[in-house]
């Protein structure tokens, strides 16, 4: 059986060449911000879990998307607006720079939400 890391490695390797650096950046952001999150594939996309759904990302024909749930997308709504396509989807066309500091804040904010939810009785 392959590990989650191996599955995500294979996903990135199979993605369009223009997507790979962007996917690696998103992966690094999530793994650095949430080092204890479980990495695996879900819905055929890289998925990170930590006391619930932390984040997903995926490659498409002309862009990569990052999927985030929870209140953090409301908290950071103004900053995320240029990248939003739906309530939970952020889209980065090929060739654009991933806003590392903003995405780090998104992941850490979602992580805090999940940890707070775990502590509630």
What confidence tens digit (pLDDT) does each residue in 98-110 have? 999 999 999 999 9
Q: CA 73, CA 43: separation in Å to the nearest integer?
A: 21
Q: Give the three-state DSSP class for 64.
A: strand
Going by pLDDT thresholds of 50, 70 and 90, the confidence category of residue 119 is low
Q: 40-98 pLDDT, tens per residue? A: 999 999 999 999 999 999 999 999 999 988 899 889 999 999 998 888 899 999 999 99
Q: What is the pLDDT of residue 40?
A: 95
Q: Which residues contact 49 (CB under 8 A, 6 or more apart)?
A: 37, 38, 40
pLDDT over 90 at 117, yes or no: no
CATH C-level class of 4-119: alpha beta
Q: Which residues contact 70 (CB under 8 A, 6 or more apart)?
A: 109, 110, 113, 114
Q: What is the pLDDT of residue 46?
A: 97
Q: 15-55 pLDDT, tens per residue? A: 999 999 999 999 999 999 999 999 999 999 999 999 999 99
pLDDT over 80 at 121, yes or no: no
């Amino acid at each position: 059986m392959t590990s989650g890391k191996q599955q995500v490695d294979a996903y990135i390797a199979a993605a369009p060449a223009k997507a790979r650096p962007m996917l690696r950046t998103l992966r690094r952001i999530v793994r650095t911000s949430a080092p204890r999150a479980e990495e695996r594939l879900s819905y055929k996309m890289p998925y990170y879990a930590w006391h619930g759904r932390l984040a997903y990302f995926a490659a498409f024909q002309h862009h990569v998307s990052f999927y985030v749930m929870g209140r953090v997308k409301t908290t950071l709504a103004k900053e995320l607006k240029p990248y939003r396509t739906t309530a939970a989807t952020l889209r980065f066309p090929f060739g654009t720079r991933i806003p590392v500091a903003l995405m780090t804040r998104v992941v850490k904010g979602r992580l805090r939400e999940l940890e707070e939810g775990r502590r509630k009785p």
